[in-house]
Structure formats: C-alpha cells, structure tokens
Amino acid sequence: MRTAVCPGSFDPITMGHLDIITRASALFDRVIVLISVNAAKKSVFTLDERVALTRKATSHLPNVTVDSWDGLLVDYVRRAGATAIVRGLRAVSDFEYEFQMALANKRMNPDAETIFLTTASENMYLSSSLVRQIASFGGSIEGSVPECVREEILRRFAPDAGRGEQAEAKPASSKAAP
C-alpha cells in the first residue's frame, strides 16, 4: 500500500489545501493529512479544532485520514510506513523554503520522497493567514474554504461576519421599507 503524508498547520484548512489533498488521494492508496504543531506559529484554532475541521472537509475522500503530531515529520512518516511527503506549492516563493525542508527530510529519512504538487490557479493566492484576516474583518470567505467549515471559521473570527456575506448575496432593492 502506497502511503503519503500531507503535513501542515491547516489553521484553517482552505480550498488550496483541499485541492492538494484531493489530488494526492488520487495518486496514493492512503493519504494521511498530518496536522502539525509548529512552535513558531501561533495557531488560532486549537489542535483538536484543526483536526475536526480537516476531518469534516475531507470526509468525502475514503482513503484520507487525519492525524496530529508534535515531533519531527520524518519520525511520523517512518512510524506510519509512508514513502512520500506531499507538499503544495502556490508560487515560486514557496519553493525555496519547501525545497530546503525536502532536503533536510531526505537527509533524515532517505526512504521518504517529497512530492510537490502545484495548486490550481484559482487557489494560488490562498493562505490560511489571508482567510483569517478576511474573516476577522467580516469579509466573504466563500469559495476560499470548504463550505462545511466556513460557518465555524466565521463564528471564530467575527461573530457578525455572516451578516456581511449574506448582505453580498441579497440584491439591493429600490423600494423603501413599509
């Protein structure tokens, strides 16, 4: 069984993440989405919340599971019996960091290959931090995150943000209210 690990912080999961996970699920028999703890990042969602949101967003993919880990990625990959690490690239600017990480991972675990998948063009601008910023100001994140997690994200960042998205969907009326 060919197993791949898709690691990330997923704070929150975006359509870009889901695109990469979905495409990886077509290439491998089993894909583990690994929610990692990154001490350098201050997460908005707890680890348990990120796992729950990611499980909800990937529930339609039968060969995808979600797990969490707070150690070295290569240790988890070895423990899971995976042979590949799948990383998404949005732009050339992502490549330098990802390439450096791939080389370090290969040095620590020569049996694991890093596979880079480029995101679909409509998701190239997306990042979790951008989604958080837009949601915190009550902007529309529709189409940026899986629909099944959008309301939870809106509740977290701006309790009245849903009002802004709903207002966008309603056409303006020229009639005065009675």
Active site residues: 17, 41, 90, 128
Q: Three-class SS string for the chain?
A: CCEEEEEECCCCCCHHHHHHHHHHHHHCCEEEEEEECCCCCCCCCCHHHHHHHHHHHHCCCCCEEEEEECCCHHHHHHHHCCCEEEEEECCHHHHHHHHHHHHHHHHHCCCCEEEEEECCHHHCCCCHHHHHHHHHCCCCCECCECHHHHHHHHHHHCCCHHHHHHHHHCCCCCCCCC
